[in-house]
């Protein structure tokens, strides 16, 4: 019996980011975890575990990866396979904190719409920053997320723990996926995770940025399906 696949979505994103998977996999049980109702990584993880079946596969993107690490700390026996997309393991450093505070300042000054515009250069490679389809997806997801939810997500991210000390405890099959044009998550971030988790594999999608599931949906699905169906 195929296990349900829980999808954890990143910050300022909605389940729309997984639309290419839903369209291509109508027969798979895909469940998008709630990324709007809490303001801490621990609470997000607790909510997911409360609503998940005893065993499931986990596919986590960006902020979702922080939640996935917390799930693995709390209930590793419940996760069959773990795919980490465009995410990293350490807590924020000074530069990240400054950037996030800048976003908070924009929102609190009534300029929430500027947040996604500030993020576009780090979301997408240069050659895709004028792509009307991708920009439309990013802007609509941000609008659907809303300012208050964004601030709650920021609080959760800024307060997260460093997940690196426990990476070696992860004993399930792990896949790492990132785009080579990601301006948030570097190759070094994924190498750090891959080296710490026994047997973890890392795949880079050429020409994609921080959102490979919508930038290169066919390639992303192929990579993910091969991993989940092993």
Q: 24-35 pLDDT, tens per residue? A: 999 999 999 999
pLDDT score recorded for residue 116: 87
Mean predicted lDDT score pLDDT of the chain: 96
Is 58:6 a contact under the CB 8 Å cutoff? yes
pLDDT score recorded for residue 192: 98
Instruction: Please list the alpha-helical segments (H only) found in 29-182.
Output: 41-51, 63-74, 94-108, 112-123, 132-145, 147-158
pLDDT in tens, 153-194: 999 999 999 999 999 999 999 999 999 999 999 999 999 999
pLDDT score recorded for residue 163: 98
pLDDT score recorded for residue 10: 95
pLDDT score recorded for residue 185: 96
CB-neighbour burial class of residue 193 (10 A; exposed 0-12, middle 13-18, buried 19+): buried
Mean pLDDT of 121-128: 95
Classify 103 as helix, strand or coil. Answer: helix
Task: Look at residue 1 and tell me whether its pLDDT is greater than 70.
Answer: no
In Å, how far from its chain's centre is CA 12? 10
> Which residues touch 31 (CB under 8 Å, ≥6 apart)?
4, 5, 6, 7, 52, 56
pLDDT score recorded for residue 109: 94
Mean pLDDT of 186-215: 97
Quote the pTM value: 0.96
Task: Look at residue 212 and tell me whether its pLDDT is greater than 80.
Answer: yes
Residues paired with 30 in a beta bridge: 5
DSSP β-ladder status, 30-32 and 56-61? unpaired
Extents of the domains making up the chain: 5-92+154-228
pLDDT in tens, 216-227: 999 999 999 999
pLDDT score recorded for residue 99: 87
**Number of DSSP helices (H) and strands (E) in the chain, helices first:** 10, 6
Task: Look at residue 215 and tell me whether its pLDDT is greater than 90.
Answer: yes
pLDDT score recorded for residue 147: 96
Is 80:3 a contact under the CB 8 Å cutoff? yes
pLDDT score recorded for residue 230: 83
Share of the chain above pLDDT 90, in %: 93
pLDDT score recorded for residue 167: 98
Q: Which two tokens stand for residue 62?
A: 């960006």
Distances (CA, A) of 28 to 21, 63, 121, 178, 229: 9, 24, 34, 23, 11
Does domain 5-92+154-228 bear CATH number 3.40.50.1820?
yes
Residue entry with tokens 């807590």: 91
Is 204:179 a contact under the CB 8 Å cutoff? yes
Mean pLDDT of 47-60: 97
């Amino acid at each position: 019996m195929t296990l349900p696949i829980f999808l954890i979505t990143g910050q300022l994103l909605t389940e729309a980011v997984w639309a290419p998977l839903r369209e291509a996999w109508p027969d798979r049980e895909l469940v998008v975890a709630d990324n709007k109702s809490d303001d801490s990584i621990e609470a997000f993880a607790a909510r997911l575990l409360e609503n998940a079946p005893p065993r499931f596969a986990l596919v986590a993107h960006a902020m979702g990866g922080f939640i996935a690490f917390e799930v693995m700390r709390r209930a590793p026996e419940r996760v069959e396979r773990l795919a980490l997309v465009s995410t990293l393991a350490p807590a924020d450093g000074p530069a990240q904190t400054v950037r996030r505070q800048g976003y908070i300042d924009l929102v609190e000054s009534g300029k929430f719409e500027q947040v996604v515009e500030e993020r576009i250069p780090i979301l997408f490679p240069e050659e895709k920053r004028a792509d009307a389809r991708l920009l439309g997806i990013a802007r609509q997801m941000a609008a659907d997320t809303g300012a208050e939810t964004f601030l709650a997500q920021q609080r959760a991210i800024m307060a997260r723990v460093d997940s690196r000390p426990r990476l070696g405890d992860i004993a399930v099959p792990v896949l790492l996926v990132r785009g080579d044009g990601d301006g948030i998550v570097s190759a070094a971030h994924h190498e750090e995770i891959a080296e710490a988790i026994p047997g973890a594999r890392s795949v880079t999608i050429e020409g994609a940025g921080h959102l490979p599931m919508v930038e290169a949906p066919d390639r992303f699905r192929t990579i993910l399906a091969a991993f989940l169906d092993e």
